[in-house]
Amino acid sequence: MTVLANTAPPDTAADQPAFGNATGLVCRECGADYSLGAAYSCIECFGPLEVAYDLTGITREAITAGPQSLWRYAPLLPVAPYAGSEPNLHPGMTKLVRADNLADALGMTAPLWVKDDSGNPTHSFKDRVVAVAQSAARRLGLSTIACASTGNLANAVAAAAARAGMGSVVVIPANLEAGKVITTATYGGTLLAVRGNYDDVNRLCSELIGDPITQTWGFVNVNLRPYYAEGSKTLGYEVAEQLGWRTPGQVVIPVASGSLLTKVDKAWRELTSLGLIPEGDYRVFGAQADGCSPVARAFADGIDVIRPVKPDTIAKSLAIGNPADGPYALDAVRRTGGAVGSVSDPEIVSAIRLLARTEGIFAETAGGVTLATFQRLLESGQAARDSETVLLNTGDGLKTLDAVADVVGPTAVIDASVSQVHEALATP
Ligand SMILES: *Cc1c(COP(=O)(O)O)cnc(C)c1O
Ligand SMILES: [Zn+2]
């Protein structure tokens, strides 16, 4: 049994830099260099900042000897692991499930896998990005973690702060699913429900960053975004490691801000350039809901500019109308020969049910978007049935019960009598 300490041992390893192999921040657009800090946008050109590393001497053996969590990849992340245990939820190392029944249902001739990130501590992949941002916040001396959230991030921030004894301020659109609001409020901290959509929430948080009240706060997906975004790479590392240190032929990734998609691709390029996996061609596919599909739209129109939209879909975790990493997601998709598709709300619901009844995995709406988009891409011939594929299920259906509540229910409601069972089973 693994016992996780919930307080940080003193950071005694003075020879160990706080940020591990990370050397600074660099502008994605103009290449300007910055030191490691709570910064996210270039002073010269307003481009997004990314973490820069000096990565040498990283081996498969060192990784596999590490903990059964995303911290096994700490040498590839912008935080040096404490000598003991990080005071966080230790997400990651979720199951990669071989999905033969689903593959049959889709007419696949190559293996199909579901990377099931609903197995994380707060049941979505957001625990990964928060773990990394939270560690960065601690090293930067910030005592509160904050976020603008479409729901899952709210859960992850509130829970992680509780675990580490930090403060939390979570800002959400007021119309989120009850399953996400109630859980977040139960973890504690401050929860602000804004009358407006996610893009309003995000703008509010950007404005708050200059405000004196937020001096000791780190907004994980705003001013700590470079660190946060790196956490998504661990999903890519795990898929490669769990496949036996290689990439699949195709991967399908739900797109909100587009960050996860770009980071899975980055993870595989890093592992390749470090010689940890063989060079292999893979195609990256993006998945959106019709009711919020600015990236799919730009892909279909063959343009680089993302036109913002007003979201209207049951896939609320993906409802970002003005996706910050949309252009970079388009780059990754086009460079690898993939595509971005989108699907209707009824298709999302059907796909949630298909995944549940073929594989026993109950996905949230984002998982439905991913599978439904893959079905569409197979039908249109943009994705191939004879190429090994990984679908990312990024969240748990128990948080979005309303999506299916109206279309499923008991086979029959009966009295406790054997004859009524017979009757119920005889009814077609
Ligand atoms: C946030 C989220 C995503 C996508 O995240 P981005 O990195 O912003 O594209 C996907 N699935 C779920 C369930 C999420 O909560
Ligand atoms: Zn710049």
The predicted-structure confidence for 194-220, as pLDDT tens digits, reads as follows: 999 988 999 999 999 989 999 999 999
Atom of ligand 1 nearest to the CA of 152: 15
Other beta carbons less than 10 A from residue 243's beta carbon: 17
Distance separating alpha carbons of residues 365 and 301, to the nearest angstrom: 26
* pLDDT at 8 > cutoff 50: no
Q: Half-sphere exposure of residue 222, counting CA atoms within 13 Å on the CB side?
A: 22
Give the integer Cα–Cα distance in Å for 162 and 187: 7
Domain ranges of the chain: 55-85+126-228, 95-123+232-405
Q: What is the pLDDT of residue 19?
A: 87
Mutate to test the pocket of ligand 1, among 126, 177, 259, 352 (most ligand atoms within 8 A of CB): 126
β-pair type (217-219, 144-148)? parallel
Give the tokens for residue 108: 């696949």
Residue 65: its pLDDT value, please?
Answer: 93
In percent, how much of the chain has pLDDT > 70? 94
Q: Is the CB of 366 under 6 A from ligand 1?
A: yes
What single-letter DSSP state applies at residue 423? H
**Which residues are paired to 167 by β-bridges?**
144
> Does residue 409 register a pLDDT over 80?
yes
Count of Cβ atoms closer than 10 Å to residue 190 Cβ: 14
- What are 60-86's pLDDT values in tens digits? 999 999 999 999 999 999 987 654 566
Of the listed ligands, the closest to the CA of 31 is 2
pLDDT tens string 350-397: 999 999 999 999 999 999 999 999 999 999 999 999 999 999 999 999
- Work out the average pLDDT over 154-165: 96
What is the average pLDDT across 84-111?
92
Distance 259 CA to ligand 1 centre (A): 8
Task: Over range 47-60, report the average pLDDT.
Answer: 94
Single pTM value for the model:
0.94
Report CA(256)–ligand 1 centroid distance (Å): 5
Q: Using an 8 Å Cβ cutoff, are 292 and 313 in contact?
A: yes
Residue spans of alpha helices (H) in 245-312 = 259-273, 294-301
Nearest to 39 by CA among 18, 28, 25: 25
- Rounded CA separation 363/349 (Å): 10
Q: Give the CATH number of domain 95-123+232-405.
A: 3.40.50.1100
The CATH architecture assigned to 55-85+126-228 reads 3-Layer(aba) Sandwich (3.40)
* 390 and 252 Cβ atoms separated by less than 8 Å: yes
pLDDT confidence tier of residue 169, bands split at 50, 70 and 90: very high
What is residue 375's predicted lDDT score, i.e. its pLDDT? 98
The closest alpha carbon to 6, from 113, 153, 149, 161, belongs to 161
Which H/E stretch holds residue 98?
strand 95-98
Q: What is the DSSP string of 214-264?
A: GTTEEETTTTTHHHHHHHTHHHHHHHHHHTTS---SEEEEE-SSSHHHHHH
Q: At CA 277, angle to CA 338 and CA 111, rounded to 5? A: 55
**How many alpha carbons lie under 13 Å from residue 93 in its C-beta half-sphere?**
12
Q: Which of 317, 355, 398, 400 to mutate to test the pocket of ligand 1 (most atoms within 8 A of CB)?
A: 317
Q: Report whether residue 148 contacts ligand 1, using a CB cutoff of 6 Å.
A: no
pLDDT greater than 50 at residue 295: yes
> What value does the mean pLDDT take over residues 102-116?
98
Distances in whole angstroms, Cα of residue 248 to Cα of each of 108, 280, 349, 357, 363: 14, 8, 27, 24, 22
DSSP assigned state of 400: G
Q: Is 60 exceeded by the pLDDT of residue 5?
A: no
**What's the pLDDT at 13?**
41
**What's the DSSP call for residue 331?**
H
Query: Are the folds of 55-85+126-228 and 95-123+232-405 the same?
Result: yes
Backbone angles phi, psi at 400, to 5 degrees: -130, 50
How far is Cα 238 from Cα 135, in angstroms, rounded to an integer?
Answer: 20
| pLDDT score for 83 | 46
Residues 6+ away with beta carbon under 8 Å from 163: 6, 87, 88, 89
Average pLDDT score over the chain: 93
Residue 126, ligand 1, Cβ within 6 A: yes
Q: Give the pLDDT confidence of 303-361 residue by residue, as tens digits.
A: 999 999 999 999 999 999 999 999 999 999 999 999 999 999 999 999 999 999 999 99
Q: Whose CA is nearest to atom 3 of ligand 1?
A: 256
